[in-house]
C-alpha cells in the first residue's frame, strides 16, 4: 500500500506541476497494486476541476482533425514563410549557401512529421521557438497525428507498377541533395 501511495503522490505532483505523465509506466511499477493505483488515479481525475485547455493544444488538435501538419499551422498562423525559417537557420548556424536545399529538405521533413521534433538539437529548437514566436516546449510538441493505417487492396496493375518502379534505375543525387553531417546534426541529433 505504501508503494501505491508513493507512486500516486508522484503522479499527482507531476500533474500539479503542469506535466502530463504517462500513467502506464507508473502503473507497471505498481505491480500487483496496479488496479488499486488506477482506481486512485481515476477518482483523482474525476474530482479534479477541469482546467481551460491551453490555446496551443487546441490549435494542435484542430490541425490534427483537419489532417494538417501542426507545425505548418503554427508557422502559417504566425505569418512566417518556410523560406524565412530556412533563411534563419542558414544565418544562425552560418551554413554555406550550397547547404540551403539540404536545410529546406530537412525542415520540410520536420514539418511533415518525418522527423520527430524531440530529435532536433536544442540550439535549433531555441531558434525555431524564436522564429515562430512560441515557447520551445510548444514547438517540440507540435507533432503530426499518427497515420491511420487501414487495409489496402492491390490490383494486378498495382503489382506491375511496383515491379517497374523497383526495376527503374535510381536517379543519381546531386551534391546539394546529399546529406550533410552538420545539417543532419541540427535536425536529428536529439541533443
pLDDT of residue 146: 52
Which residues does 28 contact at the CB level (< 8 Å), separation at least 6? 34
* Cα 91 versus chain centre, distance: 24
The pLDDT of 52-81, averaged and rounded, is 74
Task: Considering only CA atoms, give the Rg of the chain.
Answer: 22
pTM of the model: 0.54
- pLDDT exceeding 70 applies to what percent of the chain? 71
Give the C-alpha separation, 132 to 14, whole Å.
Answer: 28
Report yes or no: 125 and 136 within 8 Å, Cβ to Cβ. yes
Using one digit for the tens of pLDDT, what is the confidence trace for 122-164? 999 999 989 988 877 767 766 555 555 455 555 555 555 445 5
Residues 37, 7, 48, 64, CA torsion sign: negative
Cell 522527423 sits on residue: 115
The size of the chain, in residues, is 191
Return the H-helix or E-strand segment holding 49. Answer: none
Instruction: Please check the confidence at residue 68 and state whether its pLDDT lies above 90.
Output: no
pLDDT of residue 175: 42
Instruction: Please check the confidence at residue 101 and state whether its pLDDT lies above 60.
Output: yes
Amino acid at each position: 500500500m505504501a508503494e501505491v501511495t508513493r507512486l500516486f503522490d508522484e503522479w499527482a505532483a507531476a500533474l500539479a506541476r503542469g506535466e502530463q505523465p504517462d500513467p502506464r509506466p507508473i502503473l507497471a511499477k505498481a505491480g500487483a497494486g496496479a488496479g488499486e493505483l488506477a482506481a486512485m488515479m481515476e477518482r483523482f481525475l474525476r474530482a479534479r476541476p477541469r482546467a481551460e485547455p491551453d490555446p496551443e493544444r487546441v490549435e494542435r488538435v484542430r490541425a490534427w482533425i483537419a489532417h494538417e501538419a501542426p507545425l505548418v499551422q503554427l508557422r502559417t498562423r504566425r505569418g512566417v514563410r518556410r523560406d524565412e525559417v530556412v533563411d534563419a537557420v542558414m544565418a544562425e548556424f552560418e551554413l554555406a549557401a550550397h547547404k540551403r536545399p539540404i536545410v529546406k529538405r530537412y525542415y520540410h521533413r520536420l514539418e511533415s512529421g518525418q522527423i520527430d521534433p524531440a530529435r532536433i538539437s536544442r540550439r535549433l529548437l531555441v531558434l525555431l521557438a524564436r522564429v515562430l514566436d512560441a515557447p520551445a516546449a510548444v514547438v517540440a510538441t507540435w507533432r503530426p497525428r499518427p497515420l491511420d493505417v487501414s487495409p489496402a487492396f492491390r490490383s494486378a496493375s498495382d503489382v506491375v507498377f511496383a515491379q517497374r518502379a523497383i526495376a527503374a534505375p535510381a536517379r543519381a543525387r546531386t551534391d546539394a541533395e546529399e546529406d550533410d553531417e552538420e545539417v543532419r546534426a541540427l535536425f536529428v541529433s536529439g541533443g
